Amino acid sequence: MSYLFTSESVAEGHPDKVADQISDALIDNFLAFDANSKVACETLVTTGLTVLSGEVKSQAYLDVQQIAREVIERIGYNRGEYMFDANSCGVISAIHEQSPDINQGVDREEPEEQGAGDQGMMFGYATSESENFMPLALDLSHKILRELAKLRRENKEIQYLRPDAKSQVTIEYSDDNRPKRIEAIVISTQHDDFGGEAEMLAKIREDMINILMPRVVAQLKPELQGLFNGSIKYHINPTGKFVIGGPHGDTGLTGRKIIVDTYGGKGAHGGGAFSGKDPSKVDRSAAYATRHIAKNLVAAGVADEMLVQVSYAIGVAEPMGIYVNTYNKSKVNLTDGEIAEKIGGIFDLRPYAIEQRLKLRSPIYSDTAAYGHMGREPEIKKLKFTNTNGEEVIHEVETFTWEKLDYVDKIKEAFKDDFK
């Protein structure tokens, strides 16, 4: 029997995502001036106020208030009527030095023996149902909001958009777990106050369906375009007008959108957020590493769908264990436990090895803080950072390295005698 599955996304102007982006901008700036920085920072945003907190061990000295304002400006909160804007909101910093009790479990004389920055379990997931090996409902939800943000910044076809927004996509799957059609799409977008409420809602609905969605569908391959038909149920701003939004409408905190950040409810999640954490925190680095593993194994044809778990003890380099679930979609004559054992021989999952393999001690994290950490395109770019003394540094970085399919050949070689 067919079934429905739903995933949601939130825009860069959503208050929780504002907080995530500020926290990751702080990470990037600390790493830009001191690649060995240890940072765990949280951000709270609310009406007219941003609060920065957390622990830092770094040789860099930054104007963290200015960094926060630059992020808020870039997102688009730059008008006083939003009741939260880059120039006038208060910014309070309560960032302090990292506890030596935590640091002693991480730093080692031999870098490769670096201990995990925390205990816990992390998951990576991949599926062959989409081109980027992501769950389709989440991928479409992200695409809707990225295109909505482009329309807002263009300010041509639609001129009333404000930064806050959410989307949700429900897909009907067949008995063999293949997407059949789009059942429903929800879009809630913040907007200027114009005309009467009925007029506003009618205009917004018309623009979302007739301007936004065709631009989204045009990005898709023909087989995915076929999932969109005239029977889709659209819920556009279903609560009514959405003028009050962003941090004025709802307080935002770092780390509250962990399912949006990962797989939209598919697979599993260990519970640890990513944003605001340097790569010594395995909540972040090991989640990227397991995504890299799962994606490369699915791309190599080991399975059509795969979940990979790794777990750690704080201060210990070697993982506690590796777990694999192929959901009975394995294409090799091995048990999931045997696949997990092979993974341990291909990928070094010690924290230092993960940092080196995925180039994680670089200022690459601001790009991750909105529209998902997974399923994105790797890119080489040059970034410029300026500190409080006016010193400038330029870094050439590679983003989303965990999305590269650079281990497919190694995996095929390792499993060459095991394929069915």
- Please tell me whether 164 is known to bind a ligand: yes
**pLDDT greater than 80 at residue 112:** no
| Residue 79 lies in domain | 15-98
Between the two ends of the chain, the Cα-to-Cα distance in Å is 28
- Please tell me whether 38 is known to bind a ligand: no
* Percentage of residues in the chain having pLDDT higher than 90: 91
Predicted pLDDT at 389: 87
Predicted pLDDT at 34: 97
**pLDDT greater than 90 at residue 368:** yes
Predicted pLDDT at 329: 96
- Please tell me whether 191 is known to bind a ligand: no
Residues 34-38 have a mean pLDDT of 95
Predicted pLDDT at 41: 96
Domain identity same for 221 and 170: yes
Predicted pLDDT at 115: 77
Predicted pLDDT at 118: 81
Torsion over CA: 9, 14, 20, 21 (sign): positive
- Please tell me whether 412 is known to bind a ligand: no
Domain identity same for 297 and 399: yes
CB atoms within 10 A of CB 182: 22
The chain-wide mean pLDDT, for the chain, equals: 95
Domain identity same for 298 and 358: yes
- Please tell me whether 329 is known to bind a ligand: no
Domain identity same for 233 and 287: no
Whether 382 maps to a domain, the answer reads: yes
Whether 108 maps to a domain, the answer reads: no
Question: 92 forms bridges with which residues in the sheet?
Answer: 51
pLDDT band at 77 (very low <50, low <70, confident <90, very high): very high
**pLDDT greater than 90 at residue 103:** no
Residues 61-84 have a mean pLDDT of 97
CATH of the domain at 311: 3.30.300.10
Whether 280 maps to a domain, the answer reads: yes
- Please tell me whether 166 is known to bind a ligand: yes
- Please tell me whether 256 is known to bind a ligand: yes
Domain identity same for 88 and 183: no
Domain identity same for 378 and 274: yes
Whether 111 maps to a domain, the answer reads: no
The length of the chain in residues reads: 420
Tokens of 97: 């030095």
Predicted pLDDT at 168: 98
Predicted pLDDT at 230: 84
- Please tell me whether 286 is known to bind a ligand: no
- Please tell me whether 165 is known to bind a ligand: yes
Domain identity same for 187 and 41: no
Domain identity same for 261 and 234: no
Give the pLDDT confidence of 214-230 residue by residue, as tens digits: 999 999 999 999 999 88
Q: Are 284 and 277 in contact (CB under 8 A)?
A: yes
Number of domains in the chain: 3
- Please tell me whether 206 is known to bind a ligand: no
Domain identity same for 167 and 218: yes
Going by their DSSP bridges, the two strands 379-386 and 392-399 should be labelled as: antiparallel
pLDDT band at 342 (very low <50, low <70, confident <90, very high): very high
pTM: 0.96
Domain identity same for 178 and 276: no
Contacts of 171 (CB under 8 A, 6+ apart): 4, 5, 6, 136, 137, 140, 179, 180, 181, 182, 183, 227
Please give the torsion angle defined by the CA atoms of residues 195, 196, 201 and 204, in that order, rounded to the nearest 10 degrees. Answer: 0
- Please tell me whether 384 is known to bind a ligand: no
Domain identity same for 234 and 263: no
Domain identity same for 360 and 327: yes
**pLDDT greater than 90 at residue 210:** yes
- Please tell me whether 156 is known to bind a ligand: no
Whether 419 maps to a domain, the answer reads: no
Predicted pLDDT at 102: 53
* Percentage of residues in the chain having pLDDT higher than 70: 97
Give the pLDDT confidence of 233-280 residue by residue, as tens digits: 999 999 999 999 999 999 999 999 999 999 999 999 999 999 999 999
Whether 87 maps to a domain, the answer reads: yes
- Please tell me whether 409 is known to bind a ligand: no
- Please tell me whether 277 is known to bind a ligand: yes
- Please tell me whether 14 is known to bind a ligand: yes
Whether 103 maps to a domain, the answer reads: no
**pLDDT greater than 60 at residue 105:** no
Give the pLDDT confidence of 192-207 residue by residue, as tens digits: 999 899 999 999 999 9
Whether 106 maps to a domain, the answer reads: no
Predicted pLDDT at 229: 86
- Please tell me whether 340 is known to bind a ligand: no
